[in-house]
Chain A
Amino acid sequence: RDKAATGKSASVAGVAADDTSYEWKLVTTWPKNFPGLGSAAENLSRMVDEMSNGRLKIKVYGGGEIVPALGVFDAVSQGVADAGHGAAYYWKGKVPSSVFFTAVPFGLNAQEMYGWLHYGGGLELYEEAYAPFNLVPMAGGSTGVQMGGWFNKEINSIDDLRGLKMRIPGMAGEVFTAAGGTSVTLPGSELYTSLQTGVIDALEWVGPYNDRILGFHEVARYYYYPGWHEPGSILEFIINKDSMAELPADLQAIVRQAARASSQDMLDEYTARNNEALRELIEEHDVQLRRFPDDVLRALWQGTRQALDDLVARDPMSAKVYASYSEFYKGVRNYHHISEQAYINLRDVVLGDEDY
């Protein structure tokens, strides 16, 4: 596809590299230049251009420009575009196991997800799940722990979820419905007004950095944490297998390394921007920060257990992925008790209110 045959065949015998140039289309599920989530695709494009000295150009198209946001998977799978950027759990109607490659409630956090994918066998399973669709998946960024969402009612007990109408997609939506709530499906463009007018009582989006841009603080009273449902959402790059195979080995390596780098870059950006955004939301917009009560979270975990069991029972591939995920979870949780978790706790104990 799109192979601009500008190569003047300067390849030296025995050296794989030539100067044939390639042009790729990359479609995303985000609007063009979307802050945070949209940065990974732009970074990939820029890095690949720099690293390949312009031999591979990747043109980024926002959601709706060539195909609709949720048409990204089909488009890359069928070669309409060479690459895509989005989130795996959007495709759970095609690949039920895909929820594990983005986020499952009470699952791994960003650091742990990267560990599982790159050193715990996760990526191999990811590739296996996508192979029938002619796709090569790669991690494409992470938001870190998300926020629990914007609420117009206070959640003090599990009873407060009863009848609560919330926009919360994916497996978390199932869990929320099982807990007595009503999960409502709404397109992104209707979120603000629906919350404003009360069509929904609550919604979850991403975290302070993204949420502030959409202005949800203007139409919601409480901002809940933690994001039990998306503890470390991983975004994804998907590459059409044929497009990848067309590239010489060095360009393939460049694509992989640039994806890895831009993936990490997104987490870095969120780490830097979220705290400033939250400070502004609280200090300048009087946002009321609330924590979900423990018994509510426990009830939501019970629902998650149920949803996981259901998924594993009906889809063999999900069972296989779950086995790996669960194994890794156990190990990393044990070690993080005495490493990350222990350290973050001790920081509060020792420093208290004192500034570093």
Chain B
Amino acid sequence: MSAEFLPLFLFLAVCALLMLGYPVAFTLAGTALAFAAGGILAGVFDAGFLSALPGRVFGTMNNTTLIAVPLFILMGTILEKSRIAEELLGSMARVFSGVRGGLGISVVIVGMFLAASTGIVGATVVTMGLLSLPSMLRAGYSPALATGTICATGTLGQIIPPSIALVLLGDILANAYQQAQLQMNVFSPKTVSVGDLFVGALIPGLLLVGMYILYLTVYTRLKPQAAPPVDQGTVSLGELMRGLLPPLLLIFLVLGSILVGAATPTEAAGFGAVGALALALARRQMSVQRLREAVIDTLGVTCMVFMILIGAAVFSLVFRGFGGEELIHGYFQNMPGGAMGATLVVMLVIFLLGFILDFIEITFVVVPIVGPVLLAMGLDPIWLGIMIALNLQTSFLTPPFGFALFYLRGVAPEEVPTSAIYRGVIPFIIIQLLLIVALWFWPEMATWLPEQFKQ
């Protein structure tokens, strides 16, 4: 057996060893290190790749975009510990109290707001998990429906602008597009920008939210016991406003400050947390003890997210060191079936890689390799970008390795079995796949709106 297939074995070994249940971050890194050690002894691995790790870790420490992670988590834990989130969802649910599954629908809507303010899967899933899972379980929702809704809602941040994921992807695709056109001897190349991707993502993103809500409505009609109505009767307008207004104000403050440009997502996350604290204090729902719990929870979840990032960095260095990149590249070049065949395979590979690599790694590692190849075959860059984003979003949702599932598992109470989470996400995965198929046959869903904006 030649060393050429070692990256494939590494991938399979990680998948198998993760099943043992040792923490994901350390299993990813430890398995990769063991492979690297074996490779060095056998003379087929260049140890230089491993020595790049400190630089990678330092890059993560210095990445200002990622500062949004602990800040959004803190906002979530404060809203949770002070019971404000619960009341917000309660109030939202009252708005939908005539509708079965109203609490689920309000989770999707609250989640959509949160998703719009951050593109980081970990932060959104964790925040939504802390915010709404206890309320849903208390209201008698089946754990599967509750966790499925939260995971799916949590991954919306990938696609609903302003999304950090789309910004990174737009950056890389712009270069890939330029490169592809230069290869085709187009020396006055057309451009694609992050703004185009934002506009292109609007219709698919909102469609997704609509389909989630539709699913909840239909499912709860068929299986009412899975989602009992939160029966708090009707409320007076004043009462409703009191519960609803302050938290909504907070969300609009966070989202609005990003949209009108008062702050970057990181800064908005910062004063989102401070705003949540102020709100809790004003309502006399915050104590030193609760605040301590909130910051300690924030510490745990933040460290979990970043250790996975560091573990993934070790893994990706070793994968690259064994020539995993060449293996992938060589495969694409000998692809039958033209542009669509190649796209199909790329999508499948990205989907699988989404199990072990996070969005940022795939964006920076895989898209620069495959992007120019695909775009040189004549694909639309906006369409390709939205397809990749939707695909990864689905990958992060898919058992047993989806990142969203890990993150939610990290914050879900013990009594929720993992199998319930897996069952719960399946309908949402089907919805995602439906949208991807629709986008495959009607690329205009992504490309039409940007065209209108350009005119």
Residue A1 interfacial (CB < 8 Å)? yes
- Set of chain B residues within 8 Å of A215, measured between Cβ atoms: 174, 191-196
What is the distance, in angstroms, from B284's C-beta to the closest C-beta of chain A?
35
Are B174 and A197 neighbours in the complex by a CB distance under 8 Å?
no
Give the residues from 1 to 53 in chain A that come closer than 8 angstroms, CB to CB, to chain B.
1-2, 25, 31-35
Residue B46 interfacial (CB < 8 Å)? yes
- Set of chain A residues within 8 Å of B260, measured between Cβ atoms: 197-198
Are B368 and A70 neighbours in the complex by a CB distance under 8 Å?
no
Q: A67-B55, A187-B63 are in contact. Are A193 and B368 (CB under 8 A)?
A: no
Partner pick for B258 among A2, A31, A197, CB 8 A cutoff: A197
Give the residues from 249 to 285 in chain A that come closer than 8 angstroms, CB to CB, to chain B.
273, 276, 280
Partner pick for B174 among A66, A79, A213, A276, CB 8 A cutoff: A213
Give the residues from 159 to 217 in chain A that come closer than 8 angstroms, CB to CB, to chain B.
185-190, 192-194, 196-199, 212-215
Cα–Cα distance between A65 and B174 once the two chains are bound (Å): 18
What is the distance, in angstroms, from A344's C-beta to the closest C-beta of chain B?
26
Are B65 and A189 neighbours in the complex by a CB distance under 8 Å?
yes
Q: In the complex, which of the residues B48, B49, B168, B192 has the most CB atoms of chain A within 10 Å of its own CB atom?
A: B48
Q: Mark A128-168, 1 if CB is under 8 A from B, else 0.
A: 00000000000000000000000000000000000000000
Q: In the complex, which of the residues B52, B65, B195, B196 has the most CB atoms of chain A within 10 Å of its own CB atom?
A: B52
- Set of chain A residues within 8 Å of B192, measured between Cβ atoms: 215
Partner pick for A199 among B55, B187, B191, B261, CB 8 A cutoff: B261
Cα–Cα distance between A75 and B46 once the two chains are bound (Å): 15
Q: In the complex, which of the residues B55, B176, B195, B258 has the most CB atoms of chain A within 10 Å of its own CB atom?
A: B55
Q: Mark B146-176, 1 if CB is under 8 A from A, else 0.
A: 0000000000000000100001101110111
Residue B317 interfacial (CB < 8 Å)? yes
Cα–Cα distance between A164 and B162 once the two chains are bound (Å): 24
Residue B290 interfacial (CB < 8 Å)? no
Residue A64 interfacial (CB < 8 Å)? yes
- Set of chain B residues within 8 Å of A199, measured between Cβ atoms: 261-264
Q: A197-B261, A199-B261, A215-B194 are in contact. Are A80 and B55 (CB under 8 A)?
A: yes
Are B195 and A196 neighbours in the complex by a CB distance under 8 Å?
yes
Are B175 and A213 neighbours in the complex by a CB distance under 8 Å?
yes
Are A68 and B55 neighbours in the complex by a CB distance under 8 Å?
yes
Are B259 and A65 neighbours in the complex by a CB distance under 8 Å?
no
Cα–Cα distance between A225 and B317 once the two chains are bound (Å): 42
Residue A78 interfacial (CB < 8 Å)? yes
Residue A62 interfacial (CB < 8 Å)? yes
Are A71 and B365 neighbours in the complex by a CB distance under 8 Å?
no
* Chain B residue at minimal CB-CB distance from A69: B59
Are B175 and A70 neighbours in the complex by a CB distance under 8 Å?
no
Overall SS of chain A's interface: loop
Are B172 and A35 neighbours in the complex by a CB distance under 8 Å?
no
Are B261 and A196 neighbours in the complex by a CB distance under 8 Å?
yes
Partner pick for A35 among B55, B182, B195, CB 8 A cutoff: B182
Cα–Cα distance between A189 and B189 once the two chains are bound (Å): 21
Cα–Cα distance between A196 and B188 once the two chains are bound (Å): 25
Are B48 and A80 neighbours in the complex by a CB distance under 8 Å?
yes
Are A187 and B65 neighbours in the complex by a CB distance under 8 Å?
yes
Residue B364 interfacial (CB < 8 Å)? yes
Are A197 and B259 neighbours in the complex by a CB distance under 8 Å?
yes
Are B320 and A65 neighbours in the complex by a CB distance under 8 Å?
yes
Residue A81 interfacial (CB < 8 Å)? yes
* Chain B residue at minimal CB-CB distance from A212: B191
Cα–Cα distance between A19 and B317 once the two chains are bound (Å): 30
Are A74 and B168 neighbours in the complex by a CB distance under 8 Å?
no
Are A219 and B195 neighbours in the complex by a CB distance under 8 Å?
yes
Q: In the complex, which of the residues A74, A186, A215 has the most CB atoms of chain B within 10 Å of its own CB atom?
A: A215
Are B179 and A67 neighbours in the complex by a CB distance under 8 Å?
no
- Set of chain B residues within 8 Å of A66, measured between Cβ atoms: 49, 52, 55, 317, 320
Give the residues from 208 to 238 in chain A that come closer than 8 angstroms, CB to CB, to chain B.
212-215, 218-219
- Set of chain B residues within 8 Å of A187, measured between Cβ atoms: 63-65
Cα–Cα distance between A155 and B58 once the two chains are bound (Å): 38
- Set of chain B residues within 8 Å of A213, measured between Cβ atoms: 174-175, 178, 189, 191
Residue B234 interfacial (CB < 8 Å)? no
Per the CB 8 Å criterion, the residue count for chain B at the interface is: 50
- Set of chain B residues within 8 Å of A188, measured between Cβ atoms: 171
* Chain B residue at minimal CB-CB distance from A32: B368
Residue B62 interfacial (CB < 8 Å)? yes
Q: A2-B48, A71-B55, A192-B193 are in contact. Are A31 and B172 (CB under 8 A)?
A: yes
* Chain B residue at minimal CB-CB distance from A64: B364
What is the distance, in angstroms, from B364's C-beta to the closest C-beta of chain A?
4
* Chain A residue at minimal CB-CB distance from B54: A74
Residue B111 interfacial (CB < 8 Å)? no
- Set of chain A residues within 8 Å of B262, measured between Cβ atoms: 198-199
Cα–Cα distance between A55 and B94 once the two chains are bound (Å): 73
Q: A80-B55, A194-B264 are in contact. Are A62 and B368 (CB under 8 A)?
A: yes
Q: A1-B48, A67-B55, A70-B59 are in contact. Are A189 and B320 (CB under 8 A)?
A: no
Residue B51 interfacial (CB < 8 Å)? yes
Residue B56 interfacial (CB < 8 Å)? yes
Residue B204 interfacial (CB < 8 Å)? no
Are B48 and A25 neighbours in the complex by a CB distance under 8 Å?
yes
- Set of chain B residues within 8 Å of A196, measured between Cβ atoms: 195, 261
Partner pick for B167 among A25, A33, A34, A189, CB 8 A cutoff: A189
- Set of chain A residues within 8 Å of B188, measured between Cβ atoms: 276, 280
Cα–Cα distance between A270 and B52 once the two chains are bound (Å): 32
Are A31 and B368 neighbours in the complex by a CB distance under 8 Å?
yes
- Set of chain B residues within 8 Å of A194, measured between Cβ atoms: 261, 264
- Set of chain A residues within 8 Å of B129, measured between Cβ atoms: none
Q: A32-B368, A192-B195, A276-B188 are in contact. Are A74 and B55 (CB under 8 A)?
A: yes
Q: A67-B52, A192-B170 are in contact. Are A186 and B195 (CB under 8 A)?
A: no
What is the distance, in angstroms, from A78's C-beta to the closest C-beta of chain B?
7
What is the distance, in angstroms, from A325's C-beta to the closest C-beta of chain B?
30
Q: Mark B58-81, 1 if CB is under 8 A from A, else 0.
A: 110011110000000000000000
What is the distance, in angstroms, from A297's C-beta to the closest C-beta of chain B?
28
Known: A75-B52, A189-B171, A276-B188. 14 other contacts (CB 8 A): A2-B46, A31-B364, A33-B176, A33-B372, A35-B175, A62-B368, A66-B55, A67-B56, A192-B193, A197-B260, A199-B264, A214-B171, A215-B195, A218-B195
Q: List 23 A-B contacts (CB under 8 A).
A: A31-B171, A31-B364, A65-B320, A65-B364, A65-B365, A66-B55, A79-B48, A80-B52, A187-B64, A190-B64, A192-B167, A192-B171, A192-B194, A193-B194, A196-B195, A197-B260, A197-B261, A199-B263, A212-B191, A213-B175, A214-B174, A215-B192, A280-B188
Residues of chain A whose beta carbon lies under 8 Å from any beta carbon of chain B:
1-2, 25, 31-35, 62-71, 74-75, 78-81, 185-190, 192-194, 196-199, 212-215, 218-219, 273, 276, 280
